[in-house]
């Protein structure tokens, strides 16, 4: 991947659709890639058949949803990363998205932070050997994820600095960070080298990018100007029954 391009999260945008119908619509919109959350709960043979028939790449998928802020879950997290690397190799993607877990009430935040760092440091050699990048995801707690540990991008970027692995970065979800902190352009410009993947949705509502307060064509121009050459995953729940027009318009923003 050597240029900035859109991808579509089929679990969100095409919830309830067949893989074939979803992939065909993505192709018709002129978008080159799909992504999804769990690989372990899908028939990957059927998914890959639809993907290949429509000439699409897979930009990203998730690793197992295991907490990084609880040391008791460490071995399960590392096992999940190892299994997800194998899945990524099969799927032809080099991006694994990782959430970090919910804040543990009664446990000092510094202790949870240290656990997160230690877990990522343990995962790093596996990722480096496989040439796969793990991207940790800050999420907003105001609307969608109350109780989640990692909310603000500055802490996520600090974590990347401490782990010091080229194979561990941040997925910058524009929708989540608009809710949590704003200042999108400045933050992206300053930290572009630490971002491995983007997500996007309209705010408020987490619907089509054309619906809401975020000026996405301008935001995308600034990401491109900052030198980012990966994917931005369109991760939203549509309000329109017809998926194609909105996706085609977004695809045009990248040309």
What are the extents of the domains in the chain? 5-252
Nearest C-alpha neighbor of 5 from the set 34, 31, 35, 24: 31
Could you give the CA distance from residue 17 to residue 64 in angstroms, rounded to a whole number?
23
The pLDDT, as a whole number, for residue 180 is 98
pLDDT score, position 255: 86
Nearest to 219 by CA among 244, 183, 190: 183
Is-contact 208 243, C-beta < 8 A? no
Task: Find all residues with CB under 8 Å of 37, minimum gap 6, and list them.
Answer: 9, 11, 61, 62, 97
What's residue 166's pLDDT?
98
Name the class of domain 5-252: alpha beta
- Whole-number pLDDT of residue 1: 59
Average pLDDT value for the chain: 97
Mean pLDDT value across residues 129-138: 98
What radius of gyration do the chain's Cα atoms show?
Answer: 17
Give ∠ CA 39-23-96 in degrees, rounded to 5. 30
Alpha helices in the chain (DSSP H): 10-13, 19-28, 44-53, 74-91, 109-130, 153-163, 174-180, 184-191, 216-225, 244-252
pLDDT tier at 62, thresholds 50, 70, 90? very high
| Residue 2 clears pLDDT 80, i.e. is over it | no
Convert the pLDDT of each residue in 79-105 to its tens digit: 999 999 999 999 999 999 999 999 999
| The token pair that represents 66 in the structure block | 């295991």
Tell me the mean pLDDT in the region 163-187.
98
Kindly report whether the peptide bond that precedes residue 57 is cis, defined as omega within 30 degrees of 0: no
Residue 219 reports pLDDT greater than 90: yes
Average pLDDT over residues 56-66: 98
The secondary element (H helix, E strand) that includes residue 151 is none
Q: Is 169 helix (H, G, I), strand (E, B) or coil?
A: strand
């Amino acid at each position: 991947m050597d240029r900035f391009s859109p991808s579509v999260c089929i679990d969100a945008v095409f919830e309830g659709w067949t893989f074939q119908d979803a992939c065909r619509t993505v192709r018709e919109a002129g978008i080159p890639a799909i992504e999804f959350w769990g690989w372990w709960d899908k028939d990957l043979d059927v998914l890959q058949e639809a993907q290949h028939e429509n000439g699409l790449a897979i930009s990203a998928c998730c690793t197992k949803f295991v907490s990084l802020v609880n040391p008791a879950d460490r071995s399960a997290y590392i096992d999940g990363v190892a299994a997800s690397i194998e899945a990524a190799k099969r799927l032809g993607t080099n991006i694994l998205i990782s959430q970090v877990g919910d804040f543990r009430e009664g446990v000092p935040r510094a202790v949870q932070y240290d656990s997160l760092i230690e877990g990522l440091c343990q995962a790093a050699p596996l990722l480096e050997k496989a040439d796969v990048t793990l991207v940790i995801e800050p999420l907003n707690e105001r609307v969608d994820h109350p109780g989640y540990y990692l909310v603000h991008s500055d802490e996520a970027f600090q974590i990347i600095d401490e782990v010091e692995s080229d194979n561990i970065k941040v997925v910058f979800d524009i929708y989540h960070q608009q809710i949590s902190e704003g200042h999108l352009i400045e933050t992206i410009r300053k930290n572009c080298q630490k971002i491995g993947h983007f997500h996007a949705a309209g705010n408020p509502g987490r619907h089509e990018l054309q619906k809401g307060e975020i000026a996405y064509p301008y935001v995308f121009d600034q990401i491109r100007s900052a030198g980012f050459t990966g994917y931005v995953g369109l991760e939203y729940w549509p309000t329109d029954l017809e998926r194609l027009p909105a996706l085609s318009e977004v695809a045009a923003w990248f040309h």
